[in-house]
Amino acid sequence: LFSWTGLCLEKRVFYKLISGLHASINLHLCANYLLEETWGKPRWGPNVKEFTRRFDPVETKGEGPRRLKNLYFLYLIELRALSKVAPYFERSVVDLYTGNGHEDAESKALLLDIFRDTKSFHMHFDEKSMFAGDKKGAKSLKEEFRLHFKNISRIMDCVGCDKCRLWGKLQTQGLGTALKILFSEKEIQSLPENSPSKGFQLTRQEIVALVNAFGRLSTSIKELQNFKVLLQKTR
């Protein structure tokens, strides 16, 4: 079992986020499990036994509940990032460029609606407490974070399943983008309204990863609630 003792806040946060990402992926595996494979007609669905094996307090020697807490922590982090990045997209100079002018405006309006919803949610994590030490140490830790996520993305390349590799890399980049946003609040707030971004910029790939990773994570939270209902029925 992993020991959290002796780690600074920033490193504890990093490991909690990776644990939450792992829990999210495990939830998807349990929720869409191959239950039966017959000729030409496989049956997929939630596997309560597998969920229990991965998250039950007894089966996991107390680690299961912590993994689920880290899932919620990850959700809060990405939710906060979405609320913080809103000013970047609210500027009139920013378009999504879908290839269709009408769809550009519609997509941006829907995206801003999501950002407004996240702003109304009471946040439970203050990222200002991170990297609050000396500038040299803070810069070193930020670079360490960046390299860790780069290494995780490289490890994903070794995954044999194309679908698993795709979603794994997307969620990893989505989380990396969320952290990039949280550590760039001042740069986002000082962006010019009617000219190209200076000091902070998101690539199309980062935007896609950020939104899709949050959608995947939201689905994990929903599936967790479904498993709670299924577990109550089996007792």
pLDDT tens track for 39-76? 778 888 999 999 999 999 999 999 999 999 999 999 98
Predicted pLDDT at 135: 62
Tokens 């860790």 map to which residue?
148
Mean pLDDT is highest, among 11-25, 105-119, 136-150, 219-233, for 219-233
pLDDT for res 146: 72
Q: What is the pLDDT of residue 46?
A: 93
Q: How far is CA 226 from CA 19, 30, 46, 174, 210, in A?
A: 21, 11, 9, 25, 25
| Dihedral, 17, 22, 25, 27 alpha carbons, nearest 10 | -100
- pLDDT computed for residue 96 by the predictor: 78
How many CB atoms are closer than 10 A to CB 173?
Answer: 21
Q: Express each pLDDT in 90-141 by its tens digit.
A: 888 887 777 777 888 888 889 899 888 888 877 666 666 665 555 665 666 6
* pLDDT, the chain, mean: 83
| Percent of the chain predicted with pLDDT > 90 | 27
Give the pLDDT score at 130.
Answer: 63
Higher pLDDT, 160 or 19: 19
Average pLDDT over residues 182-194: 82
- Res 124: pLDDT: 60
**What are the DSSP calls for 4-50, one per residue?**
-TT--HHHHHHHHHHHHHHHHHHHHHHHTEEEE--TT--EEE--HHH
Task: Please tell me the pTM assigned to this model.
Answer: 0.84
Amino acid at 52: T
